[in-house]
Structures are given as structure tokens and as C-alpha cells.
Amino acid sequence: MKKPWIGVDLDGTLARYEAYQEGVVGDPIWPMVERVRAVLAAGQYDVRIFTARAGNCNDVAAIRDFLIMAGLAGLEITDHKDPACIEMWDDRCRQVLRNTGEFALPYDDDLLNVKHEADSLQF
């Protein structure tokens, strides 16, 4: 049986983020780095870096360097989750109550009208 794991987002969660630059990762957000270290030290869960950058080899190399510098070398970098994933830590997530379609906390519908950074990305 696979060990349960927590997915931790990179940009804006584990590393400071202003705008995407290929191959560049921001400075560590130390309180989150310490939280990840504590989870790993407890030994009950694995931690994986869960990021859309996982498909870009230049970004993956930069993430590996970042993880070494932050004292988190060797963590898996992925953009996929599986049944062993028990939780996600991400600056863009919104918790939904299982099997209900309802948000765990009240939701401001005006947020649906806000222009997001992703609206202007070119692919």
C-alpha cells in the first residue's frame, strides 16, 4: 500500500511568486518550508511538490535546486494526484465538501467576475 501523501503547491505556497518566469523559482516561504519539514519528520505522510510546472524540464531543474537550497531535497515533483493523496496545500484552492458540491466556507460569487492572471496567459 502506498504511503499517504500531501501535495504542496510551489508558486505562492512554498516559494514566493509574482509572475511566471521559466526556470526561475522565488525565494522560500519559510513558515511553509518548516511546516513541510515537520510533516516529513513525523513520518506519517510523504510530501510531493504539486505544480503545473512539472511538465517543463527547465522548471523541474529549477525546482530541484530550490528544494536543495530549502533543505527539502528529494521530494517528488508532480502534476498528478492519485488515491494516496490525502490533502492539497495551495494558494489557489477552495475546499469542497465531499459528495455535496458545496464549499466548506461561504463563497463570494463576485469572485467569479474577477479577472485572474491565468486569463492572460499565452499557451
Parallel/antiparallel/unpaired status of strands 5-8 and 85-89:
parallel
Domain locations along the chain: 5-120
CATH class of 5-120: alpha beta
pTM (2 d.p.): 0.84
Joined grid coordinates for residue 13: 505556497
What is the chain's pLDDT, residue by residue, as a tens digit (123 residues)? Answer: 789 999 999 999 999 999 999 999 999 999 999 999 999 999 999 999 999 999 999 999 999 999 999 999 999 999 999 999 999 999 988 888 899 988 888 766 665 555 555 555 554
Length of the chain: 123
Q: Is 14 exposed, middle or buried (0-12, 13-18, 19+ CB in 10 A)?
A: buried
